[in-house]
Amino acid sequence: MKQAPMTKRIDLECVHCGHITPFIKPVPACPNCGENILKARYDLRALRESGWVDVMLRREPGMWRYHELLPLYNTENIVSLGEGWTPLLHAKNLGLQLGLKNLYIKDERQGPTASFKDRQASVAVSVMREQGITEAVVASTGNVAIAYSAFAARAGIKMWTFLTSMVPGEKMREAAIYGGEVIKVTGTYDQAKIVAASFAESRGLFLDKGIKSVAAVESMKTMAFEIAQQLNWKSPDWFIQSVSGGMGPIGVAKGFEELIQLGLLDRSPALGVVQSSGCAPMVRAWKNGQRVATPVDNPQTIIATLSTGNPGRAYELLYDLIGQNGGAMEDATDEEAFNATRMLAETEGLSVEPATAVAFAGLIKLARRGIIKPHEVVVINCSGHTFPVETQILGDQFARQVDVSDVGKRVSVPEEGLLAALEHMETRVRRIVVIEDNVAAGRLITRILQAKGKYEVHLANGGAEGVLLIERVNPDLVITDLMMPDIDGFKVIDALKADEKRRNIPVIVLTAKELTTRERERLSGQISGLLQKGSFMDEDLLQSIVDALT
Ligand SMILES: *Cc1c(COP(=O)(O)O)cnc(C)c1O
Ligand SMILES: [Zn+2]
């Protein structure tokens, strides 16, 4: 196959003063002004004119099919573990719950070390190999250390990773397994970065700037390239990600920008940038309309991955990008993130790490506030896997406990005792009739309830079926849609209230539309809960059920 351009030229442009230098090797800062964020520039017009797109599309799917747009000169230096080309999953269940028809999840958990830092590590370590670097230093909030250590092991490069002590022990062990040196710095991530830099300096070792390196930003572009193709060469309306340093969305935005210049797209998505509430310098500044963020010295979040207190220039770049392409910044508390973790797992079968859940918690807020519109195409970066599950998410109550120690004195398991203990634990099962003519919505509600274990759910497809089902199963609770073609929710409630034996069964109404005053009056006193479809969360639904049943 013919390689598109025979000679590759890469320049570095300073984001602050615009000074341009040819990319010969990774440099710590702009030689002119000292700024540490530099942008790689390629000859996109030559690529476009050479028919590069067709050449690229014939290559194997994977991140390195875009190598002409990555900062590496010789493809023989590529260090790969099969990163990139992750699936774009249509999230129909979560979308239904949030009122977003076109919600897509870019499942970055499926990379070699289970986070989107695999892209960064593959490019960064390949560049190190090309530069003849044999030993390097990087600071990390966890995932960079794991990914760099894995790729460096493959390349035979010695890695020194400096981690803030906030990083969970499991992640530290994961980084250590690849044989590099793991240094736990008791302090914040910003402090760990300083310690790493002075260590590299004193030993004369190469310091990778982590997320602020050219390799990092360039690697993130590949997500945009993949998403655009996965959406049939359309830009999504939104790209959402939780951020720490913030270079992820900056790289993705650069990718969309390059696709526009290559003639493949006509616009870039709005950016949804989400931070953890305990460490949200960007969100705070953005909400105050400030272009410069005040650093957070003491991050108050247990989500170490998102604990960059000082975003520096990255925030200004994001601020400008949002000004240009639209978007919003939002924060989410650790608790909101943990709730989102469960919601995502239960609706879509995706288990994510807390940092990723922050993005989903932010998405939920943006959707509920109407900042993201129902028809918009939304892509969310599902950037990391919860592996292993951190105890904060599940607490110690995730499994049912059966204690048989005091049931019998025999050493073998006393079977009757076990059954008795199980029976004792069982609380009464509550029967619920769900009346919903939208099959998918009905199934979703059923699933939410069944995931909680103690509900027996009977689903009726429409009002007529619902009335019959109520008579047949005598439920403890009825959940009904209002707008249904045959017998609507109002008539179901009328029938129930006219039934001597069943008029006290509580009713929760789910409605897709705003109710008129008259409709509200008609329901008042008749129902114990009213939820607007597309804006409730499973917790709201469960809370209304608990309230109605007590
Ligand atoms: C690195 C990381 C982030 C933050 O990304 P930045 O673009 O560096 O701010 C979010 N989630 C996960 C899982 C990460 O590993
Ligand atoms: Zn400069």
393-417: pLDDT as tens digits = 556 555 554 444 444 443 333 344 4
Residue of 427 and 86 predicted with greater confidence: 86
> If you average pLDDT over residues 455-481, what whole number do you get?
91
Atom 7 of ligand 1, residue of closest alpha carbon: 248
For residue 306, the CA-to-ligand 1 centroid distance in Å is 7
Ligand 1 centre distance from Cα of residue 341 (Å): 16
Q: Which ligand is nearest to the CA of 275?
A: 1
Of the pLDDT bands very low, low, confident and very high (cuts 50, 70, 90), residue 418 is very low
- Least confident span in 61-65, 96-100, 518-522: 518-522
Of the candidates 167, 154, 23, 32, the one whose C-alpha atom is nearest the C-alpha of residue 81 is 154
pLDDT single digits (tens) 235-283: 999 999 999 999 999 999 999 999 999 999 999 999 999 999 999 999 9
Work out whether the CA dihedral 308, 312, 314, 316 comes out positive or negative: positive
Q: What is the pLDDT of residue 542?
A: 77
Confidence class for position 41, pLDDT limits 50, 70, 90: very high
Question: Contact, 193 vs 162, CB < 8 A?
Answer: yes
Look at residue 387 in the predicted model and tell me its pLDDT.
58
Q: Which residues contact 526 (CB under 8 A, 6 or more apart)?
A: 493, 497, 507
The pLDDT assigned to 224 comes to 98
Q: Which tens digit of pLDDT belongs to each residue from 470-496?
A: 998 899 999 999 988 889 999 999 999
Report the separation in Å between the CA atom of 497 and the middle of ligand 2, taken as the mean of its atom positions: 74
The percentage of residues in the chain with a pLDDT greater than 70, rounded to a whole number, is 90
Q: Which of 223-227, 325-329, 386-390 has the lowest mean pLDDT?
A: 386-390
Which ligand sits closest to the CA of 213? 1
CATH class label, 415-549: alpha beta
Which one is predicted more confidently, 550 or 173? 173
Looking at residue 350, what is its pLDDT? 96
Q: Is the pLDDT of residue 181 over 50?
A: yes
Give the model confidence (pLDDT) of 287-336 as tens digits. 999 999 999 998 888 888 999 999 999 999 999 999 999 999 999 999 99
- Asked if 359 contacts 236 with a C-beta cutoff of 8 angstroms, the reply is no
Nearest-CA residue for atom 3 of ligand 1? 243
Model pLDDT, residue 450: 72
Residue 518 and residue 533: Cα distance in Å, rounded?
Answer: 20
Distance 140 CA to ligand 2 centre (A): 25
Give the model's pLDDT for residue 426.
45
Q: What is the mean pLDDT of residues 207-216?
A: 89
pLDDT (tens digit, 9 = 90+) per residue, 70-115? 999 999 999 999 999 999 999 999 999 999 999 999 999 999 999 9
**Tens of pLDDT along 132-159?**
999 999 999 999 999 999 999 999 999 9
Share of the chain residues as helix, strand and coil, in percent rounded to the nearest 5: 45, 15, 40
Ligand 1 atom closest to the Cα of residue 141 is 1
Q: Would you state the pLDDT for residue 404?
A: 43
Q: Is the pLDDT of residue 230 over 90?
A: yes
Nearest atom (ligand 1) to Cα of 314: 9
**Domain spans of the chain, in order of start:** 88-113+217-382, 415-549
- Confidence class of residue 391 from pLDDT cuts 50, 70 and 90? low
Eight-class DSSP state of 143: H
Which architecture, in CATH terms, is 88-113+217-382?
Answer: 3-Layer(aba) Sandwich (3.40)
Helix (H, G, I), strand (E, B) or coil at 322: helix
Q: Which pair of tokens denotes residue 403?
A: 């204690």
Predicted local confidence at residue 537, as pLDDT: 67
What is the pLDDT, as a whole number, of residue 515? 85
Q: Return contacts of 370-375, CB within 8 angstroms, 24+ apart.
A: 371/328, 372/100, 372/237, 372/238, 372/272, 373/237, 374/99, 374/100, 374/101, 374/534, 375/101, 375/102
Mutate which of 117, 140, 243 for ligand 1? The one with the most ligand atoms within 8 Å of its CB, which is: 243
Q: What radius of gyration, in Å, describes the C-alpha atoms of the chain?
A: 27
Residue pair 368/94 in contact (Cβ under 8 Å)? The answer is: no
Residues having CB within 6 Å of any atom of ligand 1: 115, 117, 143, 211, 242-248, 305, 353, 355-356, 383-384
Residue 46 scores a pLDDT above 80: yes
Burial class (CB in 10 A: 0-12, 13-18, 19+), 43: middle
Residue whose CB lies within 8 A of the most ligand 1 atoms, among 37, 109, 115, 353, for a mutation test: 115
* Cis omega (within 30 of 0) for bond into 388: yes
Fold identical between 88-113+217-382 and 415-549? Answer: yes
Residue 409 has a pLDDT of 41
Task: Please report the pLDDT score of residue 535 as a whole number.
Answer: 67
Say whether pLDDT at 370 is over 60: yes
Identify the pLDDT of residue 388: 62
Single pTM value for the model: 0.80
Q: What's the pLDDT band for 447 if we cut at 50, 70, 90?
A: confident
Indicate the average pLDDT of the chain.
Answer: 88
For the beta sheet containing 507-511, the strands, ordered from the edge strand earlier in sequence to the opposite edge, are 455-460, 430-435, 477-481, 507-511, 529-532
Among 20-29, 52-61, 350-359, 381-390, the least confident range: 381-390
Task: Give the three-state DSSP class for 164.
Answer: strand
**Shortest-distance ligand to the CA of residue 250:** 1
For residue 308, give the ligand 1 atom closest to its CA.
Answer: 9
Would the pLDDT of 176 be above 90?
no
Distance 413 CA to ligand 1 centre (A): 48
- Name the 3-class secondary structure at 78: coil
